A and B are shown apart, each in its own frame.
Chain A
Amino acid sequence: MSGPVLQLAGVAVDYGRRGQRVRALDGVDLAVARGEIVGLVGESGCGKSTLARAAVGLEPLAAGTVTFEGRDVTPLGRRRRPPYLRGLQMVFQDPYESLNPRRTVGELVADGVVLGGGSRKEGQRRAAELLERVGLPTTAADSYPHEFSGGQRQRVAIARTLAAGPSCLIADEPISALDASAQAQIANLLSELVDDADLGLVLVSHDLSVVRQVADRVAVMYLGRIVEIGDTETVWGSPRHPYTEALVAAIPRADGAGVLPVDLPGDVPDPANPPAGCRFHPRCPIAQDSCRELDQRLVPVAGREIACHIRSGSAAPAGPDDPPSG
């Protein structure tokens, strides 16, 4: 298939809060191809989960469009979800809450097949296959969710989304509720599935190390906008946006060197009152006066796109005035 499987164009999402309008997502463009993992990172409150929810139609859009395989993703309403959206599935963070405790794992997975028009019997056969595919014993089908560990439960949840025969998965913090060794297992499983089934995957995670490990491309979000996007290696290896730099420097390294990670002072500002100009400027170590006024757009720089006019040199004094990086 040519073209992206999932495309977001100028997507904005508003939340109402005490009669006040809060723009949680503000003009985000993102395209996901089949066989590709796009990592979405940023601090809490940056809108990454909102983006994930908007991408599967769980949030009404204030502006922009989301298209899946060329067709509109209509927000979930009272009507039944259109069948063509069955290929777009979501994996949730907490496998303790996203699985019905009163039904067996086999039934839970078979549901996806039954909803797609298959018989219950066919569903059970497929469920056994899928449970094996995600690394669970086939005998798991007769057990209930509480009989499994967190990592195994997340496998069940993934098998359940696979039952619908998806071409694109949106995974919102799929491993953050799991143990260290289970995290590595689930991260590897997701990346195998993307390769085997040629899926597109949007991986939302606050754990930058995992995103770095599995994502082909990474989008860094700040306060409802993407501030840097590009190939994972490029963005990670030589971050250009000061916010991305701060994120990378904040990761403690398990090398025993005893180096304290670098602090980024301040919290993400209240999205109801976003700062004018560049939204990162109040926390930015290289902010200049112009940052308070100039709204930032993504522009291509050094093999990726960043929204920082100082680093991209589009409106800043060039050359020797460039602040040292890092």
Chain B
Amino acid sequence: MGTLLQVDGLTVALPTRSGYHKAVDDLSFAVEAGEAMGIAGESGSGKTMTALALFGLLPPGARVTGSIRLDGTELLGLTSKQLRAIRGRQIAMVSQDPSTSLHPILPIGTQLTEHMRHHLGVTKAEAMTRAAELLRTVRIPDPEQALRSYAGQFSGGMRQRIAIAVALAAEPRLLVADEPTTALDVTVQAGILRLLDRLCRERGMAVIVITHDLGVMSATARRLYVMYAGRLAEAGPTSELLARPRHPYTRGLLDALPHPEAGGAPLVPIGGSPPSLGRVPDGCPFHPRCRYAQPSCATDRPEPRPVADTHLLACPPDPLRAAP
């Protein structure tokens, strides 16, 4: 399997009243075909902007530099017509809120077949048959009836499964799932995570899961990129990052989680909150909240460096090197 998506030095600057500010700052990553990888971070970390940049759907006025190559084709600089041929067909997106991503007054069947007819050139009847199959794949009971129904007639979990079916309609090679289960119950979440895992394995589809929930990451992504304030903090195999985090921010995210095994010990929140756009501190953006911060952290910008074969770390002091 080769590299499906190669992102190099992606930088997204958004216009604000006080000028342009970087929401994504020099981010590089790659996705192999059929691979499930994850991008983690809190709100404002730039993870959603990264996803939107892949689709050419950034807010008006945004400046993008760097390179996004899908199968060797540079996506940055494509016309909107060229992008339309790629969106849905090559890459598709599932967003957090299925009640906004589905059209409220178009039948589910129309929304499912639109992509197929546009991208795959199949007949309406053929598309409807495929749509019913897709709904069965995402485990919607009574698919034929569902095709004639509207988004509002389904529960949140079912709507998200339908939204995934819509995203899968044109058989994309890469699915970007932005907080796909954040609004859902754990039981429904478990179903969606298993579904994504199955689609990955059965269809050879690559998935980028974007979430702040490290539990979800642990269950779905084989490789993990942790972002903070638009930059890469740490990247590596999920199992390694979660078992032995090297970046103090990754450590902090894990400590803030309730641990099923830890009983009623109080949670250890990371002090302060993430910086807002345009107020990103100099040096390491995390240093004001970091309990290991050294004077150099306030001035020197940390660059991601390999600390092991597949492990990147943007924290030169590396205070957690020897930690268990």
Contact = CB atoms under 8 A, between A and B. Distances in A.
B256 interface: yes
Nearest to B186: A250
A264 to B, nearest CB: 4
Given A179-B42, A267-B155, A262 B273 contact: no
Contacts of B42: 179-181
Interface in B179-225: 185-191, 193-194, 197, 212-220, 222
B156 A254 contact: no
A152 B272 CA distance: 10
Nearest to B267: A184
Contact of A256 (B213, B242, B270): B242
Given A45-B155, A181-B256, A258-B239, A213 B264 contact: yes
Nearest to A189: B269
Contact of B257 (A44, A179, A209, A263): A209
A252 B219 contact: yes
B268 interface: yes
A326 interface: no
Nearest to A206: B185
A261 B186 contact: yes
Contacts of B158: 267
Contacts of A252: 189-190, 193, 213, 215-216, 218-219
B194 A253 contact: no
Contact of A181 (B139, B193, B217, B269): B269
Interface residues of B, number: 50
Interface string A202-226: 0000101110111000000000000
Interface string A235-265: 0100000000011011111111111111111
B102 interface: no
B269 A265 contact: no
Interface residues of A, number: 47
B11 interface: no
A182 interface: yes
Interface in B142-193: 155-158, 185-191, 193
Main secondary structure of the interface of B (DSSP, over half): helix
A247 B242 contact: no
A182 B252 CA distance: 12
Contacts of A44: 155-156, 185
Given A191-B266, A233-B263, A265-B191, A247 B186 contact: yes
B135 to A, nearest CB: 14
Given A45-B155, A188-B266, A213-B267, A253 B186 contact: no
Residue from B43, B187, B243, B260 having most chain A Cβ neighbours under 10 A: B187
Contacts of A260: 190, 193-194, 197, 219-220
B190 A180 contact: no
Interface string B210-250: 00111111111010000000000000001111110000000
B274 interface: yes
A258 B187 contact: no
B253 interface: yes
B268 A184 contact: yes
Given A181-B269, A184-B267, A250 B243 contact: no
Contacts of A213: 258, 264-267
Contact of A250 (B43, B190, B212, B254): B190
Contact of A180 (B157, B256, B266): B256
A264 B190 CA distance: 8
Given A208-B186, A251-B260, A263 B157 contact: no
7 contacts: A209-B258, A210-B258, A250-B186, A250-B187, A256-B243, A261-B189, A261-B193
Interface of A: 43-45, 149, 151-152, 179-185, 187-188, 191, 206, 208-210, 212-214, 232-233, 236, 246-247, 249-265, 267-268
Given A181-B273, A253-B218, A267-B155, 4 more contacts: A213-B264, A246-B187, A258-B218, A263-B190
- List 9 tightest A-B contacts by C-beta distance, closest first: A256-B242, A252-B215, A184-B269, A184-B267, A209-B258, A254-B214, A256-B239, A213-B258, A261-B190
